[in-house]
């Protein structure tokens, strides 16, 4: 048996190597009630099938589930999202990858953390692209990951020349119960300048905002445009209206976490290794399907570009979809959206390509055909010129394939 050592934060333990062919037993304590956890589990399962050959002890749990009694389990390592589980296992001498949201906590643990700044920036840019001038954030005050997303979002909006209003939860525990808080949130939403674009810290909070809008008599997205994080299809698709959200690299991160745990179980020291969960793209749905610009010609131009994301359109094509000259449209476009018509065409086309790279197993040749390019070489050069990375590198970075 491998000798178990007590964890010391100043000197994390190392583990004696095991035979590469020896089957290992792994505890997976990650919630299955949310898309974030389910995505991680898909990646972990993929790694185990291809490389780990693990015996997996899985607890199908929610975030508030009871803790497992690992002292009665014959396990070799674990991936856990609950800090109490992670701490207990580490102090008992087991190698653990801790799934958390903030890189500032438990710095000596091997951790999987979300890139809150990139997530918030992507949300802010999506809402700015739609021409909004009023912005807001709604999160959970007690969670550091939510506060960080709020800070990054408001900073990005401020740099763009706007102010973001921030919702503060009631201090009373009873008023934070949703049956009571929904009325507080509804009143806050009614007091915001309209139209307003709101980032919620995650999809669950976004759904609560949508429900509070109904209570307040506000239309989504006409009065309040809402975007969440995690792209949970159960939450987002069944909402009324469906909610836009940020998709994350959870499956790729789960695969990487399993790979790291395998190394830890074969002797690599626990030394604060980091695996990042990045945002891949905005999955736009009805809750942000609006162009909040008062200029009708700019709005018409934006709609034309979005409707032709899979075609090689030019600036002249966009101009013909409006009733003004190219020079006039260019000036008004820059005033409303802070970018040129050509930049908007590039942005929309690249987002279309990114979606196909991440969401499908299509070949580059087929992606080129579906994106209006005449050859794989053409789309590869275009994508690298605009993004700075290759098609293959982008797909590898944001998927577990």
Q: How much is the pLDDT for 9?
A: 38
Q: How many CB atoms lie within 10 A of CB 243?
A: 28
3-state DSSP call for residue 283? strand
Q: How many CB atoms lie within 10 A of CB 179?
A: 8
pTM of the model: 0.81
3-state DSSP call for residue 9? coil
Q: How much is the pLDDT for 289?
A: 87
Q: Which residues of the chain have pLDDT under 70?
A: 1-22, 59-73, 101-107, 400-401
pLDDT tens-digit readout, 216-252: 999 999 999 999 999 999 999 999 999 999 999 999 9
**Domains of the chain, each with CATH number or no CATH:** 25-115+250-279 (3.40.50.2300), 116-247+282-288 (3.40.50.2300), 296-398 (1.10.10.60)
| Cis before 271 (ω within 30) | no
**135-138 vs 164-166, strand pairing mode:** parallel
CA angle at 263 for the pair 262 and 265, rounded to the nearest 5°: 65
Helix (H) or strand (E) holding 27: strand 25-29
Instruction: Tell me the C-alpha distance between 127 and 122, whole Å.
Output: 9
Q: How much is the pLDDT for 56?
A: 82
Q: How much is the pLDDT for 12?
A: 43
Alpha helices in 277-340 (DSSP H): 296-307, 315-320, 326-337
pLDDT tens-digit readout, 38-49: 999 999 999 998
Instruction: Tell me the C-alpha distance between 289 and 225, whole Å.
Output: 8
- Do 200 and 169 meet the contact criterion of CB atoms below 8 Å apart? no
Q: What is the largest CA-CA distance in the chain?
A: 78
Handedness of CA 386, 387, 390, 392 (dihedral sign): negative
């Amino acid at each position: 048996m491998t000798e178990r050592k007590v964890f010391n934060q100043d000197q994390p333990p190392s583990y004696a190597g095991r035979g590469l062919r020896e089957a290992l037993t792994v505890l997976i304590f990650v919630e299955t009630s949310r898309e974030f956890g389910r995505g991680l589990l898909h990646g972990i399962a993929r790694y185990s099938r291809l490389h780990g050959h693990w015996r997996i002890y899985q607890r199908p749990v929610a975030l508030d589930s009871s803790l497992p009694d690992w002292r009665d389990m014959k396990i070799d390592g674990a991936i856990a999202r609950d800090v109490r589980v992670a701490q207990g296992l580490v102090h008992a001498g087991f190698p653990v990858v801790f799934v958390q949201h903030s890189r500032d906590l438990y710095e000596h643990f091997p951790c999987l953390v979300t890139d809150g700044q990139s997530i918030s920036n992507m949300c802010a840019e999506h809402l700015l692209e739609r021409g909004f001038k009023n912005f807001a954030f709604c999160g959970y005050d007690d969670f550091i990951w939510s506060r960080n997303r709020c800070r990054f979002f408001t900073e990005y909006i401020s740099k763009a020349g706007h102010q973001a209003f921030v919702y503060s939860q009631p201090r009373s525990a009873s008023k934070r119960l949703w049956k009571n808080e929904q009325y507080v949130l509804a009143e806050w939403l009614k007091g915001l300048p309209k139209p307003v674009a709101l980032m919620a810290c995650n999809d669950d909070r976004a759904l609560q905002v949508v429900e509070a809008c109904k209570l307040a008599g506000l239309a989504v997205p006409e009065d309040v445009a809402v975007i969440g994080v995690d792209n949970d299809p159960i939450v987002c698709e069944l909402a009324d209206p469906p909610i836009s959200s940020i998709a994350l690299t959870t499956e790729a991160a789960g695969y990487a976490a399993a790979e790291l745990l395998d190394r830890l179980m074969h002797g690599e020291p626990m030394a604060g290794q980091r695996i990042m969960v990045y945002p891949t793209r905005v999955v736009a749905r009805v809750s942000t399907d609006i162009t909040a610009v008062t200029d009708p010609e700019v709005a018409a131009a934006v709609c034309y570009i979005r409707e032709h994301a899979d075609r090689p359109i030019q600036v002249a094509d966009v101009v013909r979809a409006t009733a003004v000259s190219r020079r006039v449209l260019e000036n008004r476009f820059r005033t409303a959206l802070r970018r040129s018509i050509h930049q908007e065409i590039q942005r929309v086309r690249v987002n279309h390509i990114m979606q196909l790279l991440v969401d499908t197993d299509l070949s580059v040749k087929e992606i080129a055909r579906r994106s209006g390019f005449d050859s794989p070489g053409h789309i590869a050069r275009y994508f690298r010129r605009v993004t700075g990375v290759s098609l293959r590198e982008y797909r590898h970075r944001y998927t577990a394939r």
